[in-house]
Amino acid sequence: MVPRRARGARCGRRRRRWSDHRSAPEPRPRAVRRLPIADLRELRRARGPRERGGARGRARCPRRGAGLKVSIAGLGLIGGSLALALKTRHRVSGFDIDASTREAALAAGVDIVGALEALLPADAVIVATPMAAIVPTLASLAQRSGAAVLLDVASVRAPVEAFAKSAPNGCRIVGLHPMAGRSGSGFAAASAKMLELRPFLVVPTVRSDTASMALAGALARDAGGEVTVCSAAQHDRIVAVLSALPLAFASALALAGAETVDGNLAALSGPGFGDSTRLALTSPDLGSAMLLANARNVRGALERARMILDEVDRAIAAGDFAALSAILERAAQARRRLS
């Protein structure tokens, strides 16, 4: 469901830059959502109150206009899942540098083109390559993106933010980061369901305008996601704490656990340890790239977590039941909002 204004904006009316809406000092993500994002609001009104269970919610929403031409560069876990989720209501084409991935996607009903360049023209191109390839791919597409909005799923925004500043004037670039994943990887692990009701962070760049933001929000919702808009700086602070820190913790736990029980984890650990360390299964290359690309924020998150652990340690050292319970109670309260 793409609001009419989003499509109209591509046809030559003055584009409002996303920065028009910015206020200083930088608000929290929730506050950002209250900024006058006319098109996203229109989208919400058009669809009525969000229902849990995206599929049912969508079915009740009358279809407006034809599907968009959505191209996807990179058909791994995230790109493949987006292709599968979006192809029911948009004309989706995809490309991947890996031939077997292209074949698997084709077999799953995704139209495949023979080269990156053939993804254009389009209404939107979603760049979903591994992180190191995202900026080069955007750079290649930006030269001749025409009316297409370039979206990218980079899990760290600073490099894209930096690239956008030097990108051609005419192109539009918006971040679209689904906070979704599983321990598998590649198209074989992709599924539309993986994206259902997951947070999609929509992140403007200096090359975003209102219409391209609305398009990103609409595609996120069409893929089953729940949209939150935040700045690149906010995004990178958030993922440092919600993605990178859990990876570092899971890895430290897995290593400390394995050395304590001589590698014999399966015989000695319960389900809690399994849950706590699941993220340690993340591909080391993917994980390292995520931690290094966001180094400053990740180190800040590690420092903050260390302070909380120090507080726990002091309460244990002092044998202070009340202080320790108070920390654990605050943590339980925070976590209950997720349950």
Task: Report the alpha-carbon distance of residue 199 to residue 227 in Å, rounded.
Answer: 6
The full 3-state SS of 201-243, as one line of letters, equals EEEECCCCEHHHHHHHHHHHHHCCCEEEECCHHHHHHHHHHHH
The Cα-based distances of 114 to 81, 96, 298 in angstroms read 20, 9, 38
Neighbours of 245 (CB within 10 A): 20
- Partner residues linked to 92 by β-bridges: 70
Residue 333 CB, nearest approach to its own copies (Å)? 8
Burial class of residue 187, CB neighbours in 10 A (0-12, 13-18, 19+): buried
Residue 323 CB, nearest approach to its own copies (Å)? 9
Task: Report the alpha-carbon distance of residue 73 to residue 151 in Å, rounded.
Answer: 10
Q: Does residue 28 belong to the site contacting its own copies (CB under 8 A)?
A: yes
User: What are the backbone angles phi and psi of residue 73, rounded to the nearest 5°?
Assistant: -100, 110
Region near its own copies per CB under 8 A, out of 34-42, 95-103, 184-192, 300-308: 300-308
> Is 88 or 325 the residue whose CB approaches its own copies more closely?
325
188 three-state secondary structure = helix
> Is 115 or 317 the residue whose CB approaches its own copies more closely?
317
Q: What are the tokens at 176?
A: 């679209």
> Is 99 or 266 the residue whose CB approaches its own copies more closely?
266
Task: Report the alpha-carbon distance of residue 26 to residue 231 in Å, rounded.
Answer: 8
> Is 121 or 184 the residue whose CB approaches its own copies more closely?
184
* Binding to its own copies, residues 268-297 (CB under 8 A): 268-285, 287-289, 291-292, 295
Task: Report the alpha-carbon distance of residue 196 to residue 221 in Å, rounded.
Answer: 9
Residue 237 CB, nearest approach to its own copies (Å)? 6
* Binding to its own copies, residues 167-226 (CB under 8 A): 179-183, 198-199, 201, 226
Which positions from 71 to 90 touch its own copies by CB under 8 A, shown as an x/- string? --------------------
> Is 139 or 261 the residue whose CB approaches its own copies more closely?
261
Residue 233 CB, nearest approach to its own copies (Å)? 12
Question: How many residues sit close enough to its own copies to count as binding (CB under 8 A)?
Answer: 95
First vs last C-alpha separation in the chain: 30
Instruction: Classify the C-alpha dihedral 231-233-237-240 as positive or negative.
Output: positive
> Is 52 or 63 the residue whose CB approaches its own copies more closely?
52
> Is 105 or 247 the residue whose CB approaches its own copies more closely?
247
Task: Report the alpha-carbon distance of residue 333 to residue 43 in Å, rounded.
Answer: 33
Query: Whose structure tokens read 């979206």?
Result: 151
* Binding to its own copies, residues 229-268 (CB under 8 A): 237-238, 241-243, 245-268
Neighbours of 56 (CB within 10 A): 9
Residue 249 CB, nearest approach to its own copies (Å)? 5
> Is 118 or 332 the residue whose CB approaches its own copies more closely?
332
* Binding to its own copies, residues 114-153 (CB under 8 A): none
Q: Does residue 334 belong to the site contacting its own copies (CB under 8 A)?
A: yes
Residue 318 CB, nearest approach to its own copies (Å)? 10
Region near its own copies per CB under 8 A, out of 51-59, 104-112, 161-169, 306-314: 306-314
Q: Does residue 51 belong to the site contacting its own copies (CB under 8 A)?
A: no
